Amino acid sequence: MTTPSLTRPTSPWVFFTSRNDPWVSAETTALHDKHGLVFRLHSRDLLEPASLFRTFARELSFPGFFGHNWDALVDCLHDWHGPGHGEGKAVAILIEDADALLATEFLGVLVSVLCQAAWKANLQLDADGVPHGEKLPFPLHFVLLLNYTPSTVFAEAVSKGRYVHATLRDGRLTATLSSDYWADADPVVGPPDQHSD
């Protein structure tokens, strides 16, 4: 079984883990060593959809035409316009104090949106599995850093996301898209600690 990576264009796309997880430090260091980009957002700015859209747009340099809705978030994340645009650089977006997101009603939607954006960026395929052609694929992953809540507590809410496949592995809750609906969704293989579909 391969260790999940933030530098390769492979699933899982979203991770819930302790802020003290040594894997996060090792992966962000590896990302920096390969000239990848790490962005840090704070959950306090993501507790309502409107502020979440504003924060992503501001911190990730979305273009002015960003529509401030879930579909537009998918589009602007995978059609990267921020630093390193068009260079195929790996991007990791870390969300600090993500424990607070458990109280939101849209957590499952958010995780589904992040998985869809990462799937499209990593594989540069449209929703029908057709290559975009001129766009370079780039590794895009999301890490939700938890201060005190075990990642297992998020499994039910994450599994409510459309087409989301959640797995607990090595103390981390990971999310990818279900291969039943998404071509080449690349669900994580290997013996998980627990599945949540």
pLDDT tens track of the chain, all 197 residues?
Answer: 578 999 998 889 999 999 999 999 999 999 999 999 999 999 999 999 999 999 999 999 999 999 999 999 999 998 877 776 667 789 999 999 999 999 999 999 999 999 999 988 887 655 555 666 666 788 999 999 999 999 999 999 998 888 888 999 999 999 988 766 555 555 443 333 333 43
- Work out whether the CA dihedral 38, 44, 49, 55 comes out positive or negative: negative
Query: What is the radius of gyration, based on Cα positions, of the chain?
Result: 15
Give the E-state strand segments of the chain in sequence order: 14-18, 37-42, 91-96, 140-146, 164-169, 172-177, 194-196
Domain assignments of the chain as residue spans, ordered by start: 14-190
pLDDT tens figures, 67-109: 999 999 999 998 877 776 667 789 999 999 999 999 999 999 9
CATH for 14-190? 3.30.370.10
| 152: exposed, middle or buried (Cβ count in 10 Å: 0-12, 13-18, 19+) | middle
Residues in the chain: 197
Asked whether 92 and 26 are in contact (CB, 8 A), the reply is: no
Give the E-state strand segments of 59-98 in sequence order: 91-96
Structure tokens, 118: 């990462």
Closest to 96 in 3D by CA, of 169, 29, 20, 172: 20
Distance CA 75, CA 117 (A): 7
Those residues with Cβ within 8 angstroms of residue 84's Cβ, 6 or more apart along the chain or in another chain: 37, 91
Three-state DSSP at 11 gives coil
Q: Tell me the pairing of strands 14-18 and 140-146.
A: parallel
The structure tokens 């502020």 sit at 51
Single-letter amino acid code for the residue at 177: L
Predicted local confidence at residue 193, as pLDDT: 39
